Structure 1
Amino acid sequence: MLKDTQQSYGWLTISLHWLTTFTVLSMFALGLWMVELDYYNPWYKDAPHYHKSIGLLLAAVLILRLMWKLKQVKPAGIGKPWEQRTATVVHAFLYLGLFSLFLSGYLISTADGRGIDIFSWFTLPSLGQWFANQEDLAGDIHEWLGYALIALVAVHAGAALKHHFINKDATLKRIVKPLTPIKDPK
């Protein structure tokens, strides 16, 4: 089942969700590690290259994910109305946080007028410096957005675990594998 249904997410949505999750957590860890590297570390130049390349590929994946999401049936909400509203708000902030991270990362990397080389496949051009002290200001924003995003991811994961272990509903199950549609007993 590739497409989403009223009961469950399909394989493509599930795959994109977990690819995004793994990549965000890995990028956060890579970001924490790479800012501590000194000039003489062999990873001093390579780690930021991978961070930028993966980050921009994730931006493309996220755009595709949103386009796919807009064309899919939304699985029925689970839980109380306030939980469903909270989930909607948290999801919106997760997307907003990710796109804000991409933009701030772009502003850091292109402040000097150079484009971003993506795995030596192509270069995303720079739009130049938009404001004074762009690299530092965008860097601070990027850092704090990273922490905020991880906090939201923790809230999101905590809510899924609460639904699974306390409410004992299908919230977590349906983002792990597509659920078999319930057949009408007639």
Structure 2
Amino acid sequence: MRLLHWMTALLVFGLFGVGLWMRNLGYYDPLYQVLPYWHKSVGFLLAGLILLRLLNRWFTASPTPLASHRAWEQRLAHLMHWMLYLLLFGLFISGYLVATSDNRPASFFDWFDIPALFTAFENQEDVAGLIHEVCAWSLIGLAGLHALAAFKHHWLDRDQTLRRML
């Protein structure tokens, strides 16, 4: 589970950085076609990893909270984890809608195509793109709070929370 956690973190921050970079590419930039291709493929890969994480979470008990964790901290941590998942799925759905807005399939590393099943609404690319951007920034902000909470447990509370994640 720890490996999936850190792979997810690495991919989320990497995709965020690539997403920011892509927005500033000019049409004649050599990366104009390459970066979106990789962003989509790695995004689909991340979606698969998140599904694996949820399956693992469903069939495997979560680590027992430490006795030093107060009830409000446990509830807040639980809420934060589900908000992270909600934002990730918002990214996956909006990313899919952007990638297939022209009714063409999205390639997954040139291994196979993910079909464009439907056009959901008018101006799909623009609306889904805005949702994608808002979810991405929200996810990065929430992930930052998640990291700060882990550091709080490590440095202020001096408990084992962070060590159990490593």
Q: Which moved more, 1:70-79 or 1:160-169?
A: 70-79
Question: Residue 134 in 1 paired to residue 124 in 2?
Answer: yes
Match for residue 29 of structure 2 among 32, 38, 41? 41
The separation in 2 between residues aligned to 1:169 and 1:66, in whole angstroms, is 26
AA aligned to 2:85 is: Y
Query: How far is the alpha carbon of 1:128 from its aligned partner?
Result: 2.5
Query: Residues 147-185 of structure 1: CA distance to partner in whole angstroms, max 9, x if unpaired?
Result: 000000011000000000110101110110xxxxxxxxx
- Kindly report the root-mean-square deviation, in angstroms, between the aligned alpha carbons of the 2 structures: 0.6
Match for residue 87 of structure 1 among 77, 91, 115? 77
Which structure 1 residue ranges, 5 or more long, are not aligned? 1-12, 177-186
Query: How far is the alpha carbon of 1:143 from its aligned partner?
Result: 0.5
Identity of aligned residues (%): 46
AA aligned to 1:94 is: L
The 3-state SS of whatever aligns with 2:118 is coil
Query: How far is the alpha carbon of 1:130 from its aligned partner?
Result: 1.1
- The runs of 4+ residues in structure 1 deviating greater than 2 Å are none
Q: What residue number does 1:77 align with?
A: 65
Q: What residue number does 1:50 align with?
A: 38
Contact 1:53 1:117 in 2 (8 A): yes
Query: How far is the alpha carbon of 1:92 from its aligned partner?
Result: 0.3
Contact 1:111 1:134 in 2 (8 A): yes
Question: Residue 28 in 1 paired to residue 28 in 2?
Answer: no
The separation in 2 between residues aligned to 1:76 and 1:69, in whole angstroms, is 13
The separation in 1 between residues aligned to 2:62 and 2:120, in whole angstroms, is 39
Residue-pair matches, total: 164
AA aligned to 1:89 is: L
The separation in 1 between residues aligned to 2:57 and 2:78, in whole angstroms, is 13
Contact 1:112 1:128 in 2 (8 A): no
Which structure 2 residue ranges, 5 or more long, are not aligned? none
AA aligned to 2:40 is: K
Question: Residue 149 in 1 paired to residue 139 in 2?
Answer: yes
TM-score, L = length of structure 1: 0.87
When Rg is computed on C-alpha atoms for both structures, the one with the higher figure is 1
Query: Residues 71-116 of structure 1: CA distance to partner in whole angstroms, max 9, x if unpaired?
Result: 1122111311101100000000000000110000000111110010
Q: Report the structure, 1 or 2, having the larger helix content.
A: 2
Q: Which moved more, 1:137-146 or 1:72-81?
A: 72-81
Question: Residue 120 in 1 paired to residue 110 in 2?
Answer: yes
